[in-house]
Amino acid sequence: MQRPKCPSCGRTMKKNGKTSGGKVRYRCAGCGASTSANPDTRAKDLRTALDWLMSKDTLESHRLPARTLQRKCELMWSLIPPVPRDGVVHDVLHLDGIHLGRDAVVLIAVDETSHVAGWHVARNETSAAWNRLLSRLAPPDMVVCDGGGGLLKALHETWPETPVQRCLFHICMNITQLTGKHPRYESSRQLRNLAIELSRAHDRKSVDEWGVKWLRWEARWNAFIDERRRSADGRERDAHERLAKARRMLRRLVVEDQMFTFLRFGDMPTTNNRVESLNSRIRAMLRRHRGLNLERRIRAVCWWCHQHTVSPENCEWLVKHAVTDERLDQWYENAWRNAPRTMHDQTGMPQRYGTGIEWNDFHRSTPWQDSN
């Protein structure tokens, strides 16, 4: 067992019997100071828990007994690591979210060195959730994203001057989802080949060559894609709906001018591979420690993001300053008390007494008996 340090001279204290209550007494051989306070092992326990979480060991394969390791992990599961505010203007930020089932998503921002710049836990990938993450970060020189889940709206509201580069690989996958991997029509096969070439574009020459092929494809197949048919309900629809949808998507991306933003800068990425790589490592961690409930999975992802920032705080600092469950409950309670008394509480907390409408106040399960 770790022996405490003397509060007066800093030397290591020795055991000196027990108190009347049965606690071990420690005495300093240098200055003679005596204390019965147990040594603070929280930082050491947190370090042990984090090392286990980031490793490939299970509870059974770890060097410590399973029960001992579970006891040391209790502190980690009761803390929420703080999100850093570095204020650094990055060259590029990769934005994406990792979904934990249907009830939670962790939005992550990764810089050009594959370090986590920030994260935010939300229920869904909405523009409001993305705004909360972006508001904590300095606007970078360029953003790389897949363009889904309200992210583009949040970027327009929070970082209106920041150029956006859409992930070319995601565009290729979106087109492949519409055409299929083995298209039947020649037009669909050519469009899928164009999508594959788009994902490999990396300089001005390859982009210009792709643009010429895209215009040729449009000129050749426009009349075919514009064909209409009448459905059973009498309405006219596109005869080739999926192909027409893929064409509209590419046209919109060309008009938005977000596919080739990387050409304005120097050596900039065209895909979201950095953040996708981090997402795969996070999912591998969750698979190794499968069986965690949703709350612990969220905290495991937050701890992983914290440990992969540029300069994560040490365990001694985290034990004192990380957000605890009691502090989080207090924040929710304060938000609930200060929230307006409306039927639909914006904080998600239960309604207070007297603020909601009781169904039984206006309805009866039995016929009304008139006393007259």
Residue 12 has pLDDT above 90, yes or no: no
What is the model's pLDDT at position 45? 92
Confidence at 288, pLDDT banded by 50, 70, 90: very high
Q: What is the DSSP pairing of strand 79-80 with strand 164-166?
A: unpaired
d(CA 39, CA 138): 41
Domain shared by 146 and 277, yes or no: yes
Find the mean pLDDT for residues 297-317: 94
* Chain-centroid distance, C-alpha 243: 33
Find the mean pLDDT for residues 342-350: 51
Residue 95 has pLDDT above 60, yes or no: yes
What angle (nearest 5°) sits at the alpha carbon of residue 80, between those of residues 76 and 82?
125
d(CA 93, CA 274): 10
User: Minimum mean pLDDT among 11-15, 263-267, 296-300: which range?
Assistant: 11-15
What is the model's pLDDT at position 372? 55
Domain shared by 211 and 290, yes or no: no
Number of domains in the chain: 4
Residue with tokens 């120097």: 266
What is the model's pLDDT at position 41? 84
Domain shared by 342 and 372, yes or no: yes
Residue 56 has pLDDT above 50, yes or no: yes
Domain shared by 155 and 276, yes or no: yes
Residue 142 has pLDDT above 80, yes or no: yes
What is the model's pLDDT at position 344? 46
Domain shared by 91 and 149, yes or no: yes
Find the mean pLDDT for residues 221-234: 86
Q: What is the percent of the chain where pLDDT is above 70?
A: 89
Q: Which residue has the higher pLDDT, 122 or 86?
A: 122
Number of Cβ atoms within 10 Å of the Cβ of 324: 13
Domain shared by 321 and 249, yes or no: no
Domain shared by 303 and 336, yes or no: no
Residue 343 has pLDDT above 50, yes or no: no
pLDDT digits (tens, 9 = 90+) for 185-220: 899 999 999 999 999 988 899 999 999 999 999 999
What is the model's pLDDT at position 73? 93
Domain that includes residue 107, residue range: 83-159+272-312
Domain shared by 177 and 246, yes or no: yes
Find the mean pLDDT for residues 293-316: 94
Residue 177 has pLDDT above 70, yes or no: yes
Confidence at 22, pLDDT banded by 50, 70, 90: confident
Residue 359 has pLDDT above 80, yes or no: no
Domain shared by 16 and 34, yes or no: yes
Domain shared by 145 and 103, yes or no: yes
Confidence at 101, pLDDT banded by 50, 70, 90: confident
Find the mean pLDDT for residues 255-274: 89
Domain shared by 152 and 278, yes or no: yes
CATH at 138:
3.30.420.10
Domain shared by 184 and 254, yes or no: yes
Question: Which secondary-structure segment (H or E) carries 35?
Answer: strand 34-35
Q: What is the mean pLDDT of the chain?
A: 86
